[in-house]
Amino acid sequence: MMRRRELLAGTALGLALFAAPAGARTIAGALPWQPDAGTPPNQVMPGPWKFFTADEGAAIEALVDRLIPPDPKTPGGKDAGCALFIDRQLAGPYGSARGLYMRPPFQEGTKQQGDQSPLTPAQRYRKGLTALDKHCRDAFAGKSFAQLTDAQKDDIIGQMEKGPLTLEGISAAGFFEQLLKNTQEGFLADPIYGGNRDMVGWKMIGFPGARYDYRDWIDRHNERYPLPPVGIGGRPEWNPT
Amino acid sequence: MTRKLPAKDAVIIGLGWTGSILAEALTRAGLDVVAIERGPWRDTATDFPTTYAPDELRYRVRHDLFLRPAQETMTFRNNSSQTALPIRSWGSFMPPNGVGGGGLHWNAETWRFLPSDFELKTHLTQRYGAKALPEDMTIQDWGVSFDDLEPHYDKFEYLCGTSGKAGNIKGAKQEGGNPFEGARARDYPTPPQKQPYGPTLFAAAAREMGYHPFPQPSGNLSQAYTNPLGVALGPCTYCGFCEWFGCGNYSKASPQTTLLPVLVRRPNFEARTLCEVSRINLDGSGKRATGVTYVDSSGEEWEQPADLVLLCAFQLFNVHLLLISGVGTPYDPNTGQGTIGRNYSYQVTSSINGFWSDKNFNPFVASGAIGYCIDEFNGDNFDHGALGFVGGGYMGAVMTNGRPILGTFLPKDTPNWGAAWKKSLAENYLGAYQFATHGSCYSYRDAYLDLDPTYTDRLGRKLLRINFDFHPNELKMSQYLTDRLGEIVQKMGPRQFDKKPRKGPYTITDYQTTHTCGGAVMGADPKASVVNRYLQSWDVPNLFVTGATSFPQNAGYNPTGTVCALAFWAADALVNQYLKHPGPLVPA
């Protein structure tokens, strides 16, 4: 009845998104605290794509920069590191749908029943970007998405969101939804994950980040909080370059 | 091959709030107790230190502290004409995992239900007549009264150090508290949390309209507190990372911050983590539990015999294990016969987003149970005679956080992306406030839990199937509550406010609350309940089942206060009655 190999993969290793916990254990007599047993996140380092191909990377940078365009005060999605963020997420456990229920049968249900696709996030990006590239090259005389004008890009994104554009092998609206969600995550998540570079997203809205103590501010009403944001890794100027 | 372990006096399935409460009571009474927990051990210093606890992506968006659906999930359908499909990624609710259970990553909103909630069927029938209730509504009395539970609510609040303001002490109304609450023996152990700007403005507007706003009772503490077990908690820092997160300050009440440091030191207690109970074992008669079988993280199967089995997992998993183990009779919605899985209910929430250009709410300065509420429209605190529905909920300014990815609010006409989206986010983050109603969800003949015919889990067991949709009674209630809340918000003078009353059909993808209820309900009639008034199984008297599993229907409050009061009440019955005379505590 029990699938031992799968169970092992499921409990001990496969389901840990951040670090592998120890196996089954008995706790008795004292709280089992040990030093340095925590699982802090790893700092994403800039560098070559880990998931995207060069062409995919160019398309993603162009896409995130239209979903969150630059303005005079705040950089857009590209300079905020949203593409780097998405690349590293897709190269990790999120990209492979680790921990999600991926057993068959896969069958379309109602909107209320939620996503039933057998594709992992990484597979969706691969299919979605391939299909988008094909669509653009067919419709715009061989040009890739990144080579289009801003107006053309916005028109295509709008058509992915609301139709009528269709993509080969994947729902355009579904791919758009995933891309938009991940882009906004990259703009607003802690900078340790590669996006929100220099905390531009947090500065734009006024979120002070991982400060964790506002006791002095709970009853200071309608006043602007004065301190700049900090991340899990501190502030850029605190760290040696 | 299953290996058999030496017998214990009691085996506890799941070491969350109720498992910890029962373990504390039973080990104090001298029993040899083992708790078997599917998830990992977790403690503050190791697992959510302040240095990286405030990580919205990891904990809120990627669900790091929760059960993985690959490990166990459920299927869902709105009605029997559909094929149920699996929940592949969590949405509407978030099943917990690991030591501390949901008590680790809750918001710590610590409510008591109204006295009339416990006698709901009798109360509503007497006041409005039987015909006022929809024909397919299956609400019932709990078999336990508010007065029975009051000392146990008190025990839980004093265990946690709950911060609040009493509204009714021994029948005497208290200015500034909730005037509708049942009579309590004494005030909360610590004063209310301080309030940020949004709730303060809300309370002023509500007061001006003749309502009685009061601070939400909070398990995030206003000041340092040492509980009766000698465990100390620190003051809340209003960091805004409560629900979905562990608290790095030891200031949110959880099993870790109130019970486990004492429990783990007792020589007659042990916990086994990363061990999943696959079934409750019954003897040949089916009337006695002999213990449990579990699988550890290396795939080894073990049998743990015990005289007493305490089923203390999350609500949905309690029902799943009862069905898998063949305890009692599964509910049949066609005949109305059987009880396991019957009366599944939820919570009917709604919200209003308000937007101001001239105000700065600093939404990140918050706690999970901050805020001012009013209770004028909860339960039967208001006359339902002409309204065409029953039930209600609290409402208020209870915004728990200002986390940027999923805790921001934009006017409803804002585009989803592009320059206009970005501009709106920049302009509205500090001046937006979300208000909420938290409504009851009554039970119905067609809302139930059973086993799915198609999908299985990694142990090869059938998944639990959720059959559920909102009913017109609840949707009318949500509209009414949201309209009343809207009047208060309007008085606060926003530039714009968007009302979002709950609409059907129920969807499994949008997070609402984790207040899934029922499925093994308590009551006085064995034909309409799974457990008696002491949470003891009618069919298997050495089996007790805790949790919101026992709610015959859900009230307009967060359930944890009542879940834990019931656990203390059951613990009291176990120690003072059952252990002296093992057997049924109520004649069937």
CB contact under 8 A, B299 and A2: yes
Cα B72–A179–B105 angle (5° rounding)?
40
Residues in A closer than 8 angstroms to B359, CB to CB, are 222
Q: Which domains does chain B have, with CATH numbers?
A: 3-578 (3.50.50.60)
Residue range A86-97: mean pLDDT, rounded: 98
- pLDDT above 80: residue A11: no
In a domain, A39, yes or no: no
Chain A hits for B458, Cβ within 8 Å: 3, 6-7, 10
Considering the domain boundaries, does residue A63 fall inside one? yes
For residue B292, the model assigns a pLDDT of 98
Taking the CA of residue B213 and the nearest CA in chain A, the distance in Å comes to 18
Query: What ipTM describes this predicted complex?
Result: 0.96
DSSP assignment of A96-159 equals TTTTS--PSPP----GGG----S--HHHHHHHHHHHHHHHHHHHTTT--GGGS-HHHHHHHHHH
Per-chain mean pLDDT for chain B: 97
- CA R_g for chain B: 23
| H or E, element range at B563 | helix B560-573
Residue A199 located in a structural domain: yes
Classify residue A161: in a domain, yes or no. Answer: yes
Q: How many angstroms separate the CA of residue B55 from the nearest CA in chain A?
A: 7
**A9 found inside a domain:** no
Report the alpha-carbon distance of residue A15 to residue B67 in Å, rounded: 9
pLDDT, residue A123, reads 97
Question: What are A163-169's contacts with CB under 8 Å, separation 24+?
Answer: A165/A135, A167/A127, A167/A128, A167/A131, A167/A132, A167/A135, A168/A130, A168/A131, A168/A134, A168/A135, A169/A127, A169/A130, A169/A131
pLDDT value at position B20? Answer: 98
Burial of residue B583 (number of CB atoms within 10 Å: 0-12, 13-18, 19+): exposed
- Burial pattern A91-123, b for ≥16 Cβ within 10 A else e, equals bbbbbbbbbbbbbeeeeebbebbbbebebbbbb
- Nearest residue, CB atoms, A206 vs list B272, B429, B506: B429
Half-sphere exposure of B115 (CA within 13 A, CB side): 11
At B183-208, the pLDDT tens digits run 999 999 999 999 999 999 999 999 99
pLDDT tens for B525-541 read 999 999 999 999 999 99
Nearest Cβ partner of A205 from B56, B240, B426? Answer: B426
User: Residues B33-53: what's their mean pLDDT?
Assistant: 95
Sign of CA dihedral B483, B488, B489, B491: positive
Residue A239 forms part of a structural domain? no
Residue A142 has pLDDT above 70, yes or no: yes
Nearest to A38 among B47, B416, B423 (CB): B47
How would you write B215-231 as a 3-class SS string? ECCECECCCCEECCCCC
Which percentage of chain A shows pLDDT scores above 90?
Answer: 83
Instruction: Kindly report, residue by residue over B226-269, the tens digit of the pLDDT.
Output: 999 999 999 999 999 999 999 999 999 999 999 999 999 999 99
Map B153-170 to HEC letters. Answer: HHHHHHHHCCECCCCEEC
- Map tokens 């007790």 to a residue: B544
Q: Which pLDDT does position A18 carry in this prediction? A: 53
Across A201-225, average pLDDT? 97
A99·B68 Cβ contact <8 A: yes
Which tens digits make up the pLDDT trace of B82-117? 999 999 999 999 999 999 999 999 999 999 999 999
B238's tokens: 């209003």
Task: Please report whether residue A169 resides in a domain.
Answer: yes
B455 interaction partners in chain A (CB closer than 8 Å)? 103
Q: Which residues fall within 8 angstroms of residue B280, CB to CB, at 6 or more apart? A: B13, B289, B291, B292, B309, B311, B321, B322, B325, B327, B543
Structural domains of chain A, count: 1
DSSP alpha helices (H): ranges in B378-513? Answer: 418-428, 472-491
Binned at pLDDT 50, 70 and 90, residue B433 comes out as: very high
Across the A/B interface, how many CB contacts are shorter than 8 Å?
277
* CA-based nearest residue in chain B for residue A219: B196
pLDDT band at B1; cut points 50, 70, 90:
confident
- Across the interface, do B260 and A213 touch by the CB < 8 Å criterion? no
pLDDT (0 to 100) of residue A13? 39
Q: Report the alpha-carbon distance of residue A148 to residue A152 in Å, rounded.
A: 6
Q: Which of A113, A218, A224 sits opposite B238 (nearest CB)?
A: A218
| Arithmetic mean of pLDDT, A1-5 | 45
Backbone angles phi, psi at B35, to 5 degrees: -110, 130
> How far B43 CA lies from chain A's nearest CA (Å)?
8
Give B404's contacts in chain A (Cβ within 8 Å): 188, 201-202, 205, 207
CA closest to A204 among chain B residues: B426
- pLDDT tens-digit map of B356-390: 999 999 999 999 999 999 999 999 999 999 999 99
Beta carbons of B418 and A94 less than 8 Å apart: no
Alpha carbon of A40: minimum distance to chain B alpha carbons (Å): 7
| Res A238: pLDDT | 80
Q: Which residues have CB under 8 Å from B130's CB, separation 6+?
A: none
A2 domain residue, yes or no: no
Residue in A4, A116, A193 nearest the CB of B85: A116
pLDDT at A14: 41
According to DSSP, the residues that pair with B145 across neighbouring strands are none
pLDDT at A241: 56
Nearest CB among A3, A37, A116 relative to B88 is that of A116
Give CA–CA dist B363/A211, Å, rounded: 14
- pLDDT at position A2 over 50: no
pLDDT tens digits, B300-322? 999 999 999 999 999 999 999 99
Which pLDDT belongs to residue A17?
53
Mutate: best of B5, B356, B417, partner A, most A CBs <10 A: B417
Closest CA to B572 of B538, B530, B522, B536: B536
pLDDT of A3: 47
The answer to whether the CB atoms of A224 and B41 lie below 8 A apart is: no
Burial of A226 (0-12, 13-18, 19+ CB in 10 A): exposed
Task: Give rounded-to-5 percent helix, strand, coil for chain B.
Answer: 25, 20, 55
Which among A7, A11, A124, A225 is the top mutation candidate for probing chain B, defined by the most B β-carbons within 10 Å of its own β-carbon?
A: A11
Strands B462-467 and B74-77: parallel
Q: Which pLDDT does position A23 carry in this prediction? A: 81
Pick among B88, B194, B502 to test the A interface (most A CBs inside 10 A) = B88
User: Of residues B427 and A20, which shows the higher confidence score?
Assistant: B427
Contacting residues of B for A209, CB less than 8 Å apart: 54
In percent, the amount of chain A with pLDDT more than 70 equals: 90
Domain span holding position A134: 54-99+118-203
Q: Does the pLDDT at position B41 exceed 50? A: yes
What pLDDT is recorded for position A10?
46
C-alpha A67/C-alpha B418 separation (Å) is 5
Residue B105 designated active-site: no
Please judge whether A14 and B57 are an interchain contact, meaning their C-beta atoms are less than 8 angstroms apart: no
Residues of B in contact with A94 (CB under 8 A): 62
Residue numbers in B near A217 (CB within 8 A): 238, 362, 365
CA closest to A189 among chain B residues: B57
| Residues of B whose CB is below 8 A from A211 | 54, 239
* Nearest residue on chain B to A112, alpha-carbon basis: B507
Q: Which of A6, A23, A100 sits opposite B274 (nearest CB)?
A: A23
**Closest chain A residue to B52, measured at CA:** A232
User: What is residue B132's three-state secondary structure?
Assistant: helix
- Counting beta carbons within 10 angstroms of the beta carbon of residue B391, is it exposed (0 to 12), middle (13 to 18) or buried (19 or more)? buried
